[in-house]
Structure 1
Amino acid sequence: MMTHMNDYSKELAFAKAIALKAGEIITKNFIHSTITTKSNLTPVTETDLAISKLVIEEVRKNFPNHEVYDEELQHESHNAEFIWVCDPVDGTIPFSHHIPTSMFSLALCHNGEPVVAVIYDPFMKRMLYTKTKSPSYMNEKEIYVKPGKFILGDFIFGIPYWNLDFDTNKYFKLLFDKKIRVTYVESIVYQSMIVAIGISKAMVIIAASPWDRAAAKMIIENAGGICTDENKKRLTVFGNPKYFIATNKEVHNEIMEIVQKCLQK
């Protein structure tokens, strides 16, 4: 049976196995890790590189017709029919400072759309995963985004502070006026996990790169959430969205109103 005609169970099992191997590398190197800075001022460690190498080698061995689009070693093209999109260590800054909030992320995309997604928190052993036409799960238990409108004491994740066209001060004020708190973790995938498992109702962050959002967006959507860009369009893996907005269905319009007011046209 051709890969694109099956239900992707084989590919999901592969991704989960790779996530466990990546998690072992992350936890093994957690205390002692050498960090260098790339030309774009983002950090990289030997752990990032080791996991990238692992993913590329395993994909070539198990799916020779597939390509890899990876943060560290291989991201020149994303035009193949099947592409594995990988972030080996999302949250390299906390990882390099021994803060345990880094995640592994891997998604298989078919013609640009995720069909398999896995993110893994190796410190708490939380593996979130999904595939086409399937719910999202964490460690074999189905997960759902947190339902309902905002109530007193709710908080959302994300501070889109990197983009100069976003008025962060106004963002804080509009949220605080609604008695909504804002918090932040230096890992897009970790913050996405918090939305997917129903802890926070919303997240507003910079869209960053395809490997930051490929798996996370599919897991949130299959858990009942909505993922859009700043123009209210469904978030894509490839393309150039500036912001990654993830919410439940009840608060999406309210959050989008706030985001629109903070964009400096």
Structure 2
Amino acid sequence: MNLDQLMVEIESWVDKVAAYQKIANEQNQLQVRTKGYATDFVTNVDVKSEEILIECIKNAYPEHSILTEERGSFTNDSDYLWVIDPIDGTTNFIHRFPISSISIALQHKGVTQAGMVYSPWLNMKFRATRQGGAYLNGKRIYVSHTSQLEKSLLATGFPGGGYSEYINLKYFNHMISQTAGIRRTGSAALDLCFVAASYFDGFWEFNLNDWDMCAGALIAEEAGGIVKRLEVDEHSLTLCSNDRLYDILKESLLIQV
């Protein structure tokens, strides 16, 4: 598979979804409901955006499998798996806070080969192919060179599912005095891309799903970053930073608190 040609296809799909989301936002077509708990929101725009991406994938690659946030998995006997999140940052989207993204990635035998994260509101389109580098709006990007925790700007997330937030709170409280600052954007996909572009020096979050991070993780890695999943307090922890800061961040974050 030609990954450069594939990225052209992916970009056309993502542009189609972004155009729909902008119209829905402008015309106030939003309908909101909850899923597993009171603050786990999904909208008609999430669902329709996902339908558009699924249709694009099925038309182009009908034999491929698909994993989505809203509809689960469409499994075929294929080594290829598409992992998509139609709106990463739904709560932001509902409030018209302009930080959300469309995330799509293709895996082959469990290894991500191509990914794109697009924020229509910020006009930021991140993309990467394996061994092909990472780009923002067509320009090559790289992680930062920051090597001191006290000079670093970090990002984290607090999922709305109750226990996940409480778990991260002690780590946040422990880290806040050791850094130049910690930000919470509400979109893990963008947080990983912001590390890739050196806006953030590092990022951590508990209990991310594959659709939250698949594309963003590849983009961060192709920009020179390190992305790993660790088991901490019986939960999955995603940790991302540059190669100078990663071990320092990991050691400080995981010290007994």
Same fold (TM over 0.5): yes
Once residues 173 and 133 of structure 2 are traced to their aligned partners in structure 1, the CA distance between those partners, rounded to angstroms, is 33
User: SS at 1:205's partner residue?
Assistant: strand
Task: Tell me the CA shift for residue 40 of structure 1.
Answer: 4.5
Once residues 175 and 72 of structure 2 are traced to their aligned partners in structure 1, the CA distance between those partners, rounded to angstroms, is 40
Q: What residue identity is the alignment partner of 1:86?
A: I
Once residues 96 and 88 of structure 2 are traced to their aligned partners in structure 1, the CA distance between those partners, rounded to angstroms, is 14
Q: What residue identity is the alignment partner of 1:13?
A: V
Once residues 97 and 221 of structure 2 are traced to their aligned partners in structure 1, the CA distance between those partners, rounded to angstroms, is 28
Match of 2:113 in 1: 115
Q: What residue identity is the alignment partner of 1:59?
A: I
Alpha carbons of structure 1 residues 254 and 17: separation in structure 2 relative to 1, 3 Å: same
Alpha carbons of structure 1 residues 226 and 19: separation in structure 2 relative to 1, 3 Å: same
Pick from 91, 105, 110: which aligns with 2:89? 91
Q: What residue identity is the alignment partner of 2:121?
A: F
Match of 1:134 in 2: 132
Alpha carbons of structure 1 residues 194 and 78: separation in structure 2 relative to 1, 3 Å: farther
Question: Would you say 1:36 and 2:33 are equivalent positions?
Answer: yes
The equivalences for 1:1-265 within 5 A come to 3=1, 7-31=2-26, 32=28, 33-41=30-38, 42-75=40-73, 77=75, 80-150=78-148, 152=150, 154-160=152-158, 162-163=163-164, 166=167, 168-169=169-170, 171-176=172-177, 178-231=178-231, 242-261=236-255
Hey, which of these two has a bigger chunk of strand by percent?
A: 2
Over the matched positions of the two proteins, sequence identity in percent amounts to 20
Q: What residue identity is the alignment partner of 1:248?
A: N
RMSD (CA atoms): 2.4
Alpha carbons of structure 1 residues 23 and 181: separation in structure 2 relative to 1, 3 Å: same
Once residues 250 and 76 of structure 2 are traced to their aligned partners in structure 1, the CA distance between those partners, rounded to angstroms, is 29
Residue segments in structure 2 that go unaligned for 5+ positions in a row? none
Check whether the contact 1:53–1:73 (CA below 8 A) recurs between aligned residues: no
Once residues 12 and 52 of structure 1 are traced to their aligned partners in structure 2, the CA distance between those partners, rounded to angstroms, is 18
User: SS at 2:164's partner residue?
Assistant: coil
Task: Tell me the CA shift for residue 112 of structure 1.
Answer: 1.1
Q: Provide the TM-score with structure 2 as the length reference.
A: 0.88
Once residues 166 and 261 of structure 1 are traced to their aligned partners in structure 2, the CA distance between those partners, rounded to angstroms, is 14
Once residues 179 and 187 of structure 1 are traced to their aligned partners in structure 2, the CA distance between those partners, rounded to angstroms, is 21
Once residues 151 and 259 of structure 1 are traced to their aligned partners in structure 2, the CA distance between those partners, rounded to angstroms, is 11
Alpha carbons of structure 1 residues 164 and 142: separation in structure 2 relative to 1, 3 Å: closer
Residue segments in structure 1 that go unaligned for 5+ positions in a row? 233-239
Once residues 66 and 42 of structure 2 are traced to their aligned partners in structure 1, the CA distance between those partners, rounded to angstroms, is 18
Q: Alignment length, in residue pairs? A: 250
